[in-house]
Amino acid sequence: MLAKDIREMSEADINARIAELERERFNLVLASGTRTLDDPLRLRVIRRDVARLKTVLREKVIGIAEAGRDAGGGKREAGRGGRQSRRVTGRRGRKSATAINRKKTSKRA
């Protein structure tokens, strides 16, 4: 189930779909205790669909048009105040970055 499809649904339809999926999930959990499920990944799909439904429902309640979109339509600026944060990559980069931080914290004591 895609978020754009959910956004077209009414709040009552979303609540009904949540209840239906929760009921199905409950039955699958009970069934998994006594037998092996035909599709065990269905539990994960249901859980994620419920979360997606609840997110869109919450967006509708507080009045967000579309989550995850910025007003400018372009790339968002990284960090605070438009500063680019330094990206530490690779094993040596992380090691040296933490070693530097350790030195700074040990001098304060």
Smallest Cα–Cα separation from 66: which of 53, 76, 54, 56?
56
The one-letter amino acid code at 62 reads I
Q: Give per-residue pLDDT as tens, 76-93.
A: 555 555 556 666 666 665
Within 10 Å of residue 53's Cβ, how many Cβ atoms? 20
- The pTM for the full model equals 0.58
Measured distance CA(49)–CA(106) in Å, rounded: 47
Q: What is the pLDDT of residues 20-68, one digit of tens each?
A: 999 999 999 999 999 999 999 999 999 999 999 999 999 999 988 665 5
Domain 1-67 has CATH 1.10.287.310: yes
**Tokens standing for residue 32:** 């998994």
pLDDT digits (tens, 9 = 90+) for 90-107: 666 555 656 666 666 555
